[in-house]
């Protein structure tokens, strides 16, 4: 439980408040706590386990990194940690229940306050497994979100969504329903419902190599997305394809721009007759890419596929195989060859906090809790790219919502404004700024409440 704060709550009062929250059933996820208490949420433990059982998640995830997007109360995050993974949980709201359960479990799950569109490998690194459960239909830009998910995934993404039509109908043409207002279950935050073929097509278009329908029931579909092709056959029936050309589909040159949604035209020859998009397997920088288009081209073939814009600048590699062959020799292409700058991940210069204050009152190292609480942090040493690839600001265990990063002032400082969660408990916290491999020394921040008259 949290320590008593300046709001006047005692430990007994906080314990009673926790008990009232349990009794009112305001939780979405259910939990079993180490001390024997149970939290009965909207979704039972049996339901939560059944949702996860739709996917082949190993019982032992030791050494794996897992990202849970749309974590809400956090059952899936804590279950992944229980299996041995290092876990990051992400949501657009900070749920007090998540923090309560995290403390009760003695968990080390890191919480990030962000929407999916602002998650990037430059800022967070990549993850072996990404959970994207029950999120897509809440988004106005589902394909963009899935592209972000793909960029963050190195192995598997677990995708679950509400779907229109019969969840197990894989034969219908891809369609998506869009809801401008509250047409779906009377909720304003339900924006779309793809049918299952459309959901599969979105996952393929986002860049995943393999997209497998696992199950469908009660208006939901479960899809397993992979970044790698299956292993080549041990005894291939055909010779490896021969790559004859690699060009940008837009302008026909072998240069690509990471700022543009680029597609590659890859020309090759193969002994395997009657190829299809399902039997051609391109691979860029070690990750499989689903073909967007395949066509005969003279005596050979042309396959078009999307380039991952999050890959390294400069020279990159591509190869491909067919369902009956091993991989071809590697061909090279160039991304951002002129003027390319290193990303945030390579940054390692010292950075330091020069000041922390309430963004409204400018009170040093203190901020009033509640409402629209914002904090300004002044940092020395951040590069120019900090305005594009923003730093992370942690207040205690919470990654605060980023609002603004300024240009350098006359003292060489950048002002960073962040918003604290509305229900952040009063108390003493450490503020830390992270950028690339660099982390500041913690700066103190006191969060307090003003007694009501």
| Model pLDDT, residue 271 | 92
Same domain, 37 and 172: yes
User: End of a domain among 276, 305, 335?
Assistant: 335
| Last-in-domain residue among 275, 301, 335 | 335
Residues β-bridged to residue 333: 316
How many whole angstroms separate alpha carbon 90 and alpha carbon 112? 5
Contacts of 220 (CB under 8 A, 6+ apart): 134, 160, 161, 162, 163, 167
Same domain, 350 and 330: no
For the stretch 131-176, pLDDT in tens is 999 999 999 999 999 999 999 999 999 999 999 999 999 999 999 9
In this predicted structure, what is the pLDDT of residue 288? 96
Ranges of residues in the chain with a pLDDT under 50 are 1-12, 14-15, 18, 22-23, 25, 337-342
Q: pTM of the entire structure?
A: 0.75
Using one digit for the tens of pLDDT, what is the confidence trace for 202-234? 999 999 999 999 999 888 999 999 999 999 999
Nearest-angstrom CA–CA distance, 100 and 233: 50
Contact 314, 338 (CB under 8 A): no
Query: Do residue 386 and residue 360 come from a single domain?
Result: yes
Q: How many domains does the chain have?
A: 3
Are 299 and 431 in a shared domain? no
281 and 249 fall within a common domain? yes
The range of the structural domain enclosing residue 260 comes to 242-335
Please give the radius of gyration of the chain, using alpha carbons only, rounded to the nearest integer.
25
Picking from 272, 300, 335, the residue at the C-terminal end of a domain is: 335
Question: Is 259 within the bounds of a domain?
Answer: yes
Co-location of 311 and 349 in the same domain:
no
| 364 C-beta neighbours (distance < 10 Å), count | 12
Residue 233 is assigned to a structural domain of this protein? no
First to last CA, the chain: 27
CATH code, 272 = 2.60.40.10
Contacts (Cβ under 8 Å, ≥6 apart) of 453: none
At 442 the pLDDT is 95
**Same domain? 90 vs 209:** yes
In a domain, 70, yes or no: yes
Q: How many CB atoms within 10 Å of residue 348?
A: 10
Residues 180 and 87 in one domain: yes
Burial class (CB in 10 A: 0-12, 13-18, 19+), 310: middle
Same domain, 35 and 169: yes
Q: Are residues 138 and 284 in the same domain?
A: no
On whether residue 183 sits in a domain, the answer given is yes
One domain for residues 107 and 193: yes
Return the beta strands (E) in 97-180 as ranges: 110-113, 127-133, 153-162, 176-178
CATH code for the domain in which residue 103 is found: 3.40.50.150
Tell me the three state secondary structure of residue 367. strand
Same domain flag for 327 and 261: yes
Letter string b/e over residues 91-115, b meaning 16 or more CB atoms within 10 A of that residue's CB: beebbbbbbbbbebbebebbbbbbb
């Amino acid at each position: 439980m949290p320590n008593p704060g300046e709001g006047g709550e005692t430990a007994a009062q906080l314990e009673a408040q926790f008990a009232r929250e349990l009794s009112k059933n305001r939780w979405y996820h259910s939990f079993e706590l180490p001390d024997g208490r149970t939290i009965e949420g909207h979704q039972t433990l049996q339901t939560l386990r059944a949702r996860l059982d739709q996917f082949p998640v190993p019982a032992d995830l030791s050494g794996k990194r897992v990202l849970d997007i749309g974590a809400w109360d956090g059952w899936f995050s804590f279950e992944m940690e229980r299996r041995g993974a290092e876990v990051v949980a992400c949501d657009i709201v900070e749920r007090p229940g998540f923090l309560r359960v995290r403390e009760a479990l003695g968990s080390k799950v890191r919480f990030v306050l962000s929407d999916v569109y602002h998650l990037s490998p430059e800022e967070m690194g990549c993850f072996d497994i990404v959970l994207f459960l029950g999120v897509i239909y809440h988004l106005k830009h589902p394909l963009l979100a899935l592209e972000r998910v793909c960029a963050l995934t190195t192995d598997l993404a677990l995708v679950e969504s509400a779907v229109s039509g019969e969840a197990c109908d894989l034969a219908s043409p891809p369609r998506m329903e869009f809801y401008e207002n509250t047409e779906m279950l009377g909720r304003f935050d339900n924006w779309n419902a793809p049918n299952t073929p459309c959901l599969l097509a979105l996952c393929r278009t986002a860049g995943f190599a393999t997209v497998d329908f696992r199950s469908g029931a009660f208006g939901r579909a479960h899809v397993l997305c992979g970044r790698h092709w299956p292993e080549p056959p041990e005894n291939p029936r055909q010779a490896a394809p021969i790559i004859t050309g690699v060009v940008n589909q837009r302008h026909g040159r072998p240069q690509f721009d990471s700022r543009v949604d680029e597609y590659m035209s890859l020309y090759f020859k193969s002994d395997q007759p009657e190829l299809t998009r399902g039997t051609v397997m391109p691979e860029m920088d070690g990750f499989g890419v689903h073909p967007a288009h395949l066509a005969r081209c003279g005596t050979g073939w042309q396959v078009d596929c999307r380039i991952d814009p999050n890959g390294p600048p400069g020279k990159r590699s591509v190869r491909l195989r067919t369902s009956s062959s091993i991989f071809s020799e590697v061909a090279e292409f160039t991304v951002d060859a002129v003027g390319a700058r290193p990303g945030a991940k390579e940054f390692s210069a010292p950075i330091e906090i020069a000041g922390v204050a309430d963004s409204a009152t400018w009170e040093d190292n203190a901020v009033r809790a509640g409402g629209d609480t914002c904090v300004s942090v002044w940092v020395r040493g951040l590069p120019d790219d900090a305005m594009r690839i923003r730093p992370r600001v942690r207040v205690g265990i919470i990654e605060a919502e980023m609002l603004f990063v300024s240009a350098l002032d006359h003292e060489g400082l950048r002002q960073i404004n962040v918003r604290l969660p509305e229900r952040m408990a009063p108390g003493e916290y450490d503020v830390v700024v992270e950028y690339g491999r660099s982390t500041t020394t913690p700066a103190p921040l006191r969060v307090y409440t003003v007694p009501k008259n």
